[in-house]
Amino acid sequence: MTARHLLQLGLGCGVAVLAWAGPSGAATRVDGVVPGVYGRVSDWGEQAPPVLNEQPVLVRKTAGQVGEPIYLNVPAAERRHWAQHCVRHRACATPVYFVDAQRWARLQTLRGEQAAPAAELTSPAAAE
C-alpha cells in the first residue's frame, strides 16, 4: 500500500470511529451522502437531494407551528417503521423527507461534482 492509500484508510476509519464512539447525544458531520452512511443531510447545494417519499413524514403533531422539513438518510428498516426510530434522530415532531442515497450518488457521478452534501450522524449512544 502506498502512503496515500494508508491515509485514505485511516481517515475512513476515523470517520467510522467518530460516528460510533461520539459522546451521547452528539452529532458528527461527515461529507457526502453515501449508501450505508446514515444521518441528517444538512447541506446539499442548490438543489434538494432526491427523496423516496413525495410528502414529508410526520409522526407526532405538536401544538403550534410545524417546522421546516428535514432530509434524512436512514436504513430501509427504519424508514418502514419510522414511528419506532424517529426518537433516535430527534425527528418525531418534524416533517421528514428520506433521501435516496443511491440515486444521489449516481447524480453526483453524472455531474462529476467533487463536493457532496454533509450528513450529520447521531451516535448509537444517543438513542439510549
Write out pLDDT tens, residues 15-32. Answer: 443 344 443 444 444 455
Q: Would you state the pLDDT for residue 65? A: 67
Show the cell assigned to 38. Answer: 446514515
Picking from 26-30, 50-54, 64-68, which range would have the lowest pLDDT averaged per residue? Answer: 26-30
- Residues 66-77: what's their mean pLDDT? 89
Q: How many domains does the chain have?
A: 1
Give pTM, 2 decimals. 0.61
Beta strands in 1-128, from DSSP E residues, in sequence order: 27-31, 39-43, 70-73, 96-98, 118-122
* Residue 111 belongs to domain spanning: 3-127
